[in-house]
A and B are shown apart, each in its own frame.
Chain A
Amino acid sequence: MASGMIKKLLIANRGEIALRVIRTARALGIQTVAVYSQADAMMPHVAAADDARPIGPAEAAQSYLNSSAIIQAALAAGADAIHPGYGFLSENADFAAAVSSAGLNFIGPPAQVLAAAGDKVGARQLAQRVGVPVVPGTETADLATARNFAALTGYPIMIKAAAGGGGRGIRVVAAEAELGPALETAAREAQAAFNDGRLFLERYLEAPRHIEVQIVGDRYGRVVAMGERECSLQRRHQKIIEESPSAGITAAMRGAIIEAAVALASAVGYRNAGTVEFLVDGDNFYFLEINARLQVEHPVTELRFDCDLVAHQLSVAAGDPVREPPAPRGHAIECRIYAEDARNDFRPAAGPVLYLQIPAGPGIRVDTFLAPGIEIGTHYDGLLAKLIAYGHDRDEARRRTAAALDEFMLTGVTHTAAFLRGVVASERFARAELSTRFIEQFVRQWRAPEDSLNAAAVLAAVAQNAAAAAVSRPADRRSRSPWETLGSINFWSRS
């Protein structure tokens, strides 16, 4: 496998994570190569890199998931390493193996670790071998096994895909009558989505907390932990607000969870940055899965440990030993702003970036690829921006988050900033009464501010009038903001 100093790094990703990796590389004096699909030619990550290569059409399967096109681009550009970001090919063992065979350094765990972490049943068995508790369940899911298991624990139970993970391939069964059909559908879906129809079962936990541990391992067998993150706030099994430390676990449980994470990562021979996920239910914690990549929410850890995890990744990939992290301090909260409609079941949204205001100020970091003039499409994940706030304690981080969300403005794409503002400002969030059910409960009683909606209707009418007036003046057909025209009182007398 390739090692040594990295001189030119290809980033096999897009969006905010591509930009984020490019920034670290640039600071380290490493040249960067961006890749892009036809839909992304005008995206900021393409302009930010030293070199950029097209890899295919908009469909991810033919571009960002196209291993050979990406490896070809890396070789053609003279890159010596590939950073996969998160999602796409980041946890694909075959891709990692192909990158290594091409003589390139894969910035992530080796293929065999990716394969072990990707097999959720295998990871479950490994956890049990090293004495880490798992959610009560079975490693097979034929109808007879499922019936017996359900009879033992009671409904609901969860059906999970062995090759799933990250919230994908999960199905909750509430009653015996649904069990047979649910198993069949789940197997079919898993086969279609992951090319692996194997399933396993777990007891359904009513309202657990989701706690995960950041780990970094080196090639000398050393694994260090960098604290935990609480990621209980989710919609559709996908995280939207994360924080560190967790306000919901005791010091004793934190110690036990971190110890379990390191034991598991060591047992699997983990290298590079990764995350071990757990569910906490009352006084018990259970291993969930290993995410063998840099996580979306890694900045939460970076703010508490005052570090750069991408720099750590590049360093251990180049053969350096992992360093003992400094003591963490303060509290960090991340809010993920998605192109989604929180008032309509988080339906995906798209559109042009017509206006943009990115928050700033003490303790505020925003990781985003948003830029005025770009179009947000629906080909890829809808994450627009991550707003991360640091404070000396949770309360300060929370107040800074709310104030910064008030400052966030993006016109042209429906997004979740106002909803996140509602969550962060709520009493329940302030009291840290979090669970994976929080968002589905909160969204039911959340409304867009009525005053803002009424004001928006009036502003929309003004914009509509201004646009109609502009059309009647052939000399000025350019689409403009009504405020340019409103600023000039003469406008109306001229038209």
Chain B
Amino acid sequence: MKLRELSSGRQFDVEVEHPGPPIKATLDGAALSLATRAQPDGATIIECGGRRLRAFAARRGDAIFVSVGPSTFTFAAIAASRGAGRHSLATPILTAPMPGKVLKIMVAEGDEVEAGRALITMEAMKMETTLSAEGPARIKRIPVSAGQMVDAGAVLMELSPIDSAKPQSDR
């Protein structure tokens, strides 16, 4: 399966061959064995970088939250060819990088925008973040409105690239 780590935007291709212990998987094509020891509270102890660390993973909605010691990572599955929720590169989805409030929407459905055009401003903890178009696109759908509170990963806008020769990168 393909997973995206939200903070870095990095994509991982992971296939779990055996859920363990130890977990046998391939990570981006490389075989990997991860020693685990289940704990009574639902956590597991893993061997990682020569150290033993407590880890925990759980899914909530579309997000998979993982702790490895004090480090936190949030992953989203990039849906394969199955059922609804499938997004090909032809329909780029702009998602909320953080939970917060939609402050301002600068475009309307049907608008055509150039690369770099500011689309939407979000606010969380008095900090504003403006998301912009990564390439020329038409605004297909805006499922949120100004003033609305949204979770991290919530769909803010669907766009269709105007020049399909230059597909937008998945942010």
A residues apposed to B, CB below 8 Å: 341, 343-344, 347-352, 354-355, 357, 377-378, 381-382, 405-415, 417-418, 421, 448-449, 451-467, 479-484, 486-487, 492
Contact = CB atoms under 8 A, between A and B. Distances in A.
For A377, A452, A453, the residue with the greatest tally of chain B CB atoms inside 10 Å of its CB is A452
A409 B70 contact: yes
Contacts of A407: 70
B3 interface: yes
Interface stretch (B50-58, B84-92, B136-144, B162-170): B50-58
B70 A406 contact: yes
| Category for how many chain B residues contact A | 35 or more
12 contacts: A349-B152, A407-B70, A409-B56, A412-B60, A414-B72, A449-B49, A453-B10, A456-B55, A459-B68, A465-B16, A483-B56, A486-B44
A321 B25 CA distance: 67
Contact of A460 (B10, B66, B152): B66
B71 interface: yes
A451 B73 CA distance: 12
Contacts of A412: 58, 60, 65
Given A348-B100, A405-B70, 19 more contacts: A344-B97, A347-B97, A348-B124, A351-B152, A355-B67, A411-B57, A448-B7, A451-B49, A453-B8, A454-B27, A456-B75, A457-B12, A457-B75, A459-B44, A462-B20, A464-B75, A465-B1, A481-B56, A484-B42
B28 to A, nearest CB: 9
Contacts of B67: 355, 409-411, 456
Given A454-B27, A460-B75, A351 B12 contact: no
Nearest to B50: A451
Contact of B19 (A453, A457, A480, A492): A492
A282 to B, nearest CB: 33
B83 to A, nearest CB: 12
Contacts of A421: 70
- 3 tightest A-B CB contacts, nearest first: A451-B49, A481-B42, A417-B70
Contacts of A483: 38-39, 42-44, 56-57
Contact of A448 (B41, B59, B71): B71
Interface of B: 1, 3, 5, 7-8, 10, 12, 14-16, 19-21, 23, 25, 27, 32, 34, 36, 38-39, 41-44, 46, 48-49, 53-60, 63-75, 77, 97-101, 124-125, 127, 129, 151-152
Contacts of B5: 453, 456-457
A479 B59 contact: yes
A415 to B, nearest CB: 6
A460 B64 contact: yes
A464 B10 CA distance: 17
B56 to A, nearest CB: 4
Q: Is the interface of B mostly helix, strand, loop or mixed?
A: strand
A79 B38 CA distance: 49
A481 B41 CA distance: 9
A189 to B, nearest CB: 11
A479 B39 contact: no
B81 to A, nearest CB: 15
Contacts of B39: 483
Nearest to B47: A455
A411 B58 contact: yes
Contacts of B54: 357, 409
Contacts of B44: 459, 483, 486
A486 B74 contact: no
For A412, A461, A464, the residue with the greatest tally of chain B CB atoms inside 10 Å of its CB is A461
A359 to B, nearest CB: 10
Contacts of A467: 59
Contact of A455 (B64, B68, B124): B68
Contact of A486 (B20, B32, B48, B59): B20
B97 A452 contact: no
A354 B72 CA distance: 12
Contacts of A487: 38
A448 B72 CA distance: 9
Contacts of B57: 411, 456, 459-460, 462-463, 481-483
A348 B7 CA distance: 12
Given A354-B56, A482-B58, A452 B69 contact: yes
Contact of A381 (B14, B65, B125, B127): B125
B72 A418 contact: yes
A480 B56 CA distance: 11
Contacts of B97: 344, 347
Given A343-B8, A457-B14, A351 B60 contact: yes
Given A458-B32, A461-B25, A452 B58 contact: no
Contacts of A351: 60, 63, 65, 99, 152
Given A351-B152, A463-B64, A486 B72 contact: no
Given A347-B127, A348-B100, A481-B58, A458 B72 contact: no
A462 B16 contact: yes
A482 B21 CA distance: 12
B59 A464 contact: yes
Contact of A348 (B16, B60, B98): B98
B125 A458 contact: no
Contacts of B71: 417-418, 448-449, 452-453, 456
Contacts of B58: 354-355, 411-412, 463, 479-482
